[in-house]
Amino acid sequence: MSSPQVEEIKARIDAVAFIEGYVRLAKAGINFKARCPFHNERTPSFMVSASRQTWHCFGCGKGGDIFTFLMEMEGMEFPEALRVLAERAGVALTRETPQAHSERTHLLALLEAATRFYEAQLREHTEVGEYLKGRGLTGQTAKHFRVGFAPDQWDGLLNYLAGKGYRMQEAEKVGLAIGSHDRFRNRIMFPLADSAGRIVGFTGRIFGTEPEGVGKYINTPQTIFYDKSKLLYAFDKAKHAIRRQNVCVLVEGQMDALMAHQAGTVNAVAVSGTALTPLHLQHIRRLCEQVIFAFDPDTAGLAASRRGIELAYEAGLEVKIAALPHGKDPADMIASSQEHWQNTLASAKESIAFFLETFSPTNSYEVEPHKKNRAAKELFPLLARMESHMVRAHWLQTIAHHLRAPEESVAEDFKNFLRKKKNDTIQTPLNPPLGKGGSEGVTRHQLLEEKLLGMLLLYPALVPRAALEEKQISAYHTLHGAVLADRLAKGEAYADFPDDLRAQASRLMSALEQSFSPQNDEEITAEYNAITRGLSQEILKEELTGLRLVIAEAERKGAQEEKQKLLEEFSKKITTYGT
């Protein structure tokens, strides 16, 4: 592709406006800043330059222009990013590169063709359209979200795709076929799009009577495009509203999300095929500071809310709960009264207040002390996930008032809960889980070390590159870390480790696999390089901190010559750190 076309696209698309579609930016002098979308951090180190039209993260070291941002954010190859940005900029691409015919591009086109097939089938099967209208869904909403229908045929889709030049094996690779048969049959089809709007999978809801032993809903299995732990339904259409309103409304199913958008709640998204995960909440946290849970008010819905709330607090989000009427999910509620739905969202309560009401609608706790204890056990885990001690204190006071208990007693019980929780989670060295949620004393240095060990265990071909020297091994923060590094350096395989070390290694590999799903060797190398760069930066930061202390001591003693040498060394290191 000719360079002038790339430059024309960059000239037409403002980097700040484009990146703000994914990340909530704040003005910082002449630049803009945010928490980095590519690694977990509490202090913003991700910067966007309006003058240079570039971005850079001083935490993980990644950076570039709008092309590299889109490629990193969506896992695209350059040709895919080029077409997406060209379409957005209104630039006609005059020539395709050979890479444009890559397998990923071909399979994405197959998924798009399948979507069009399902859309056409919905138009043909009018009884399905009537059913959807009966649920309150308008034709305009169905068209906007590309709702379709999979006919009750064993090979209806496969025959259509064959006519378009696609092979059965390709359909199976993206989860649309099982052998020589269609995976989805007699189902209302909800296309699942990534945040760039590309169709990457489907959810199918059975139409009519649910056959025995057949699930009401089935989803595309894990593929190179679809990861249920990351994808949120309708996120591609809701992301701008989420950022603009600084709040995300979270519902449980596709129909809930469709009806919410139809009712004007265009900042609503839904989980698809799984419970809410930390990766889902990372996507939300990039754009807003508050989430409203609007889950079904049944036992399962409340349980899902509780699990999700704890994760949301861990992600640093403010959490509210919309109190839906019993027996109605959001879709049913909206179909009955959009006004009631809007009022319910407007009156959403802070999670602690919501659960307090469910535990104690009357003053019965005054005469039933055991219920006070049960309420505390239910609420303390939520409080423990909150970052702000001031907010915790507020809610402890509220809980005490609501339960008619002395504030000092509630505060002391909460301290005991935290103490017990900490004791229960104290494990042997190297046991804190990677990333957020680990023990409070775990540093970024140690997390990067553990991540590096996980990489070396999962991808042994990287070991020679790691240069695990004796000095590096002895510097590991934990005994098991040093032992693992030593064995890897000697070429030992995971299968040859003793049981206790194999358990530690297994935990490291599992933790890494939850956050890292590479598609090729290039992605593995890129991740390895990012980890080692970050680790080098952490080591250098620690050296600089040590030098500052030594310089301060030389100053106190009046050793000017020693101080000058130390300052020169510090200057060299700070220059290295800056690069």
**What pLDDT is recorded for position 495?**
60
Q: 0.85 exceeded by the pTM? A: no
Residue 226 counted as domain residue: no
Q: Of 70-74, 462-466, 560-564, which one has max mean pLDDT?
A: 70-74
Q: Are residues 94 and 115 in the same domain?
A: no
Q: What CATH number should be reported for the domain holding residue 238?
A: 3.40.1360.10
Residues in CB range of 511: below 8 A, 6 or more apart: 433, 434, 435, 450, 454
Question: What is the total count of domains within the chain?
Answer: 6
Residue 352 counted as domain residue: no
Dihedral, 103, 529, 194, 265 alpha carbons, nearest 10: -170
Residue 428 has pLDDT above 50, yes or no: no
More confident residue, 374 or 319: 319
More confident residue, 453 or 571: 453
Q: Are residues 506 and 524 in the same domain?
A: no
Q: Are residues 408 and 436 in the same domain?
A: no
Residue 353 counted as domain residue: no
**What pLDDT is recorded for position 480?**
52
Q: Are residues 118 and 93 in the same domain?
A: no
**What pLDDT is recorded for position 301?**
63
Q: Are residues 325 and 394 in the same domain?
A: no
Over residues 366-382, mean pLDDT = 74
Residue at a domain's end among 500, 517, 534: 517
What range defines the domain where residue 447 resides?
A: 429-517
**What pLDDT is recorded for position 299?**
58
Q: Are 489 and 453 in contact (CB under 8 A)?
A: no
Residue 137 counted as domain residue: yes
Residue bearing tokens 């209806």: 156
Q: Are residues 147 and 248 in the same domain?
A: no
Q: Are residues 396 and 484 in the same domain?
A: no
Residue 172 has pLDDT above 80, yes or no: yes
Residue 334 counted as domain residue: yes
Q: Are residues 118 and 204 in the same domain?
A: yes
Q: Are residues 89 and 27 in the same domain?
A: yes
Residue 570: which H helix or E strand, with range? helix 560-578
**What pLDDT is recorded for position 138?**
97
Q: Are residues 205 and 141 in the same domain?
A: yes
354 exposed, middle or buried (CB, 10 Å; 0-12, 13-18, 19+)? Answer: buried
Residue bearing tokens 């970024």: 444
Q: Are residues 150 and 206 in the same domain?
A: yes
Residue 225 counted as domain residue: no
Q: Are residues 295 and 198 in the same domain?
A: no
Residue at a domain's end among 158, 185, 219: 219
Residue at a domain's end among 398, 425, 452: 425
